[in-house]
């Protein structure tokens, strides 16, 4: 086997379709917010099954707007898993609210429903459910309970796109669904994101606050240019510059066309990993993968010698990383630490392996061979 192999952890998958698509935008030339964004929003809306979607520059923007549009009273509390990416909690702090860290499930790293109920207080106004690694949270239980408590439910779908829970697409269970098209994600536009909701009233505001709080977006002003005073708009809300642009949207359209294939390939790769690694002595799968109708972003192993294993992979040209250190370990979030024993213990053993569409069988076999080698000689490390 080739010792000089160098395998990335993630890699976006593009072909001439994306190049052709982006070239057209350059020829138009209308690079900013415009027709392509509208086209992508329409296609995404159909794909995900949500009436109203807003194309954005990131999932961080989607999360922030989902919180902001509700105008919660300052200092109210939002329940979210302790083990998530910082943007999930930042969206809460941006609005002067406080995160309450909820523990995770040992068997799938997603938010623990019993602890969610335990951590609830009367000051809670929302839940952010993160489908960690692509594993669906128990959305039926969460939604039913949240309704009784009058809590807004935001789904952080940064790690999934096209996965289902009990026959319903992730991102359409809650009041808001937030997706990421960042460089390493399921589909990639370099950076990008989208927000979906079925709340028509809030959708109007979301459209406005994603573009400076204007009453009319710049594309609408352009297409109305034959009308009198086409240029007129009013600043109705305190908005942000969070919009998607035509370049990003053109890549997103091409990527979305391939999503079925992408998700099929991801399942195939995970199946191979699981099959070839199931008999290891010193490793476990960190997630109880439910592959039917799924979209997983991460393949994660658990091992007690996590850091030594990561170094061993590095020496052998294989990238790996840790998803994720619980937020309370970061200085900014330290003061929000609650009782989350499973997150505190579990993250220390997590190692994410390479997972991307163009990962070849040869590469997978090499990764597996090296993991087996480490497992066999575990006592030496
Ligand atoms: C769980 C989670 N939420 C939100 C984000 C933010 O996504 P973006 O980079 O598109 O803002 C990420 C990014 O990795 C993430 O992992």
Percent of the residues in the chain that have a pLDDT greater than 70, as a whole number: 99
Phi/psi of residue 34, each to 5°?
-170, -150
CA of 156 to the centre of ligand 1 (A): 8
Section 16-40 average pLDDT: 96
d(CA 59, CA 61): 5
d(CA 134, CA 110): 9
Q: Which two tokens mark 368?
A: 């597996």
d(CA 297, CA 289): 11
**What per-residue confidence (pLDDT) applies to 287?**
98
Token pair 């919660």 is at which residue? Answer: 72
CA of 144 to the centre of ligand 1 (A): 26
In angstroms, the Cα distances linking 106 to 173, 177, 284 are 23, 25, 12
Helices 246-257, 16-27: axis angle to 10 degrees equals: 150
**Tally of CB atoms within 10 A around 123:** 13
CA of 113 to the centre of ligand 1 (A): 22
Q: Which two tokens mark 70?
A: 């509700």
**What per-residue confidence (pLDDT) applies to 3?**
59
DSSP-assigned letter for residue 275: H
Structure confidence at residue 330 as a pLDDT band (50, 70, 90): very high
**What per-residue confidence (pLDDT) applies to 309?**
98
Task: Kindly tell me if the per-residue pLDDT of 153 is higher than 70.
Answer: yes
d(CA 218, CA 211): 9
Choice from 60, 62, 109, 134 to test ligand 1 binding pocket (greatest atom count within 8 A of CB): 60
Structure confidence by residue, pLDDT tens digits, 185-210: 999 999 999 999 999 999 999 999 99
**What per-residue confidence (pLDDT) applies to 58?**
98
Task: Kindly tell me if the per-residue pLDDT of 4 is higher than 80.
Answer: no
**What per-residue confidence (pLDDT) applies to 310?**
98
Structure confidence by residue, pLDDT tens digits, 340-375: 999 999 999 999 999 999 999 999 999 999 999 999
Task: Kindly tell me if the per-residue pLDDT of 211 is higher than 90.
Answer: yes
pTM, rounded to two decimals: 0.98
d(CA 315, CA 18): 34
Cis peptide before 324 (omega within 30 of 0): yes
**What per-residue confidence (pLDDT) applies to 124?**
98
Structure confidence by residue, pLDDT tens digits, 280-309: 999 999 999 999 999 999 999 999 999 999
Q: Which residues 6+ apart lie within 8 Å of 20 measured at CB?
A: 254
Given CA atoms 137, 341, 301, 91 in this order, what sign does their dihedral have?
positive
CA of 64 to the centre of ligand 1 (A): 11
Q: Which two tokens mark 100?
A: 């309450």
Q: Which of 35-49, 72-86, 130-144, 217-231 has the lowest mean pLDDT?
A: 217-231
**Tally of CB atoms within 10 A around 157:** 35
Task: Return mean pLDDT, the chain.
Answer: 97
Structure confidence at residue 31 as a pLDDT band (50, 70, 90): very high
d(CA 272, CA 288): 15
Task: Measure CA 348 to chain center.
Answer: 22
Ligand 1 pocket residues where CB is under 6 Å: 58-60, 84-85, 87-88, 130, 156, 158-159, 180, 182, 193
Task: Kindly tell me if the per-residue pLDDT of 2 is higher than 60.
Answer: no
Task: Kindly tell me if the per-residue pLDDT of 1 is higher than 60.
Answer: no
Structural domains of the chain in order of their starting residue, each with its CATH number: 16-103+110-257 (3.40.640.10), 259-380 (3.90.1150.10)
Are 375 and 340 spatial neighbours (Cβ–Cβ below 8 Å)? Answer: no
Are 331 and 279 spatial neighbours (Cβ–Cβ below 8 Å)? Answer: no
Section 73-101 average pLDDT: 98
Section 219-224 average pLDDT: 89
């Amino acid at each position: 086997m080739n010792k000089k192999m160098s395998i990335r952890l993630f890699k976006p998958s593009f072909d001439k379709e994306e190049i052709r698509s982006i070239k057209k935008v350059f020829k138009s030339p209308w690079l900013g917010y415009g027709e392509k964004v509208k086209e992508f929003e329409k296609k995404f809306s159909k794909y995900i099954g949500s009436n109203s979607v807003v194309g954005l520059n990131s999932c961080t923007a989607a999360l922030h707007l989902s919180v902001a549009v509700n105008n919660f009273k300052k200092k109210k509390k939002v329940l979210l898993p302790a083990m998530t990416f910082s943007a999930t909690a930042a969206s809460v702090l941006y609005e002067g609210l406080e995160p309450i860290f909820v523990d995770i499930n040992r068997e799938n790293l997603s938010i623990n429903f019993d602890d969610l109920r335990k951590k609830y207080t009367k000051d809670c106004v929302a839940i952010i459910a993160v489908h960690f690694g692509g594993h669906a949270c128990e959305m039926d239980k969460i939604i039913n309970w949240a309704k009784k408590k009058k809590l807004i439910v935001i789904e952080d779908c940064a790690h999934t796109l096209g996965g289902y829970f009990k026959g319903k697409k992730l991102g359409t269970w809650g009041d808001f669904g937030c997706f990421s098209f960042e460089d390493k994600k399921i589909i990639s536009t370099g950076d990008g994101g989208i927000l979906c909701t079925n709340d028509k009233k809030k959708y109007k505001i979301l459209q406005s606050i994603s573009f400076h709080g204007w009453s009319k977006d710049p594309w609408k002003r352009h297409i109305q240019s034959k009308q009198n005073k086409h240029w007129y708009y009013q600043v109705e809300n305190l908005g942000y510059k969070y919009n998607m642009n035509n370049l990003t949207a053109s890549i997103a359209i091409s990527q979305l066309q391939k999503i079925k294939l992408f998700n099929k390939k991801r399942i195939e790769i995970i199946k191979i990993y699981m099959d070839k690694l199931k008999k290891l002595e010193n490793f476990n799968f960190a997630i109880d993968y439910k592959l039917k109708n799924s979209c997983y972003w991460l393949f994660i192993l658990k091992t007690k010698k996590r850091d030594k294993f990561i170094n061993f992979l590095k020496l052998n040209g294989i990238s790996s990383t840790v998803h994720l250190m619980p937020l309370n370990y970061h200085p900014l979030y330290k003061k929000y630490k609650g009782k989350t024993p499973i997150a505190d213990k579990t993250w220390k053993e997590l190692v994410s392996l390479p997972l991307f569409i163009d990962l070849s069988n040869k590469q997978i076999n090499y990764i597996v061979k090296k993991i087996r080698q480490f497992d066999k000689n575990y006592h030496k490390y």
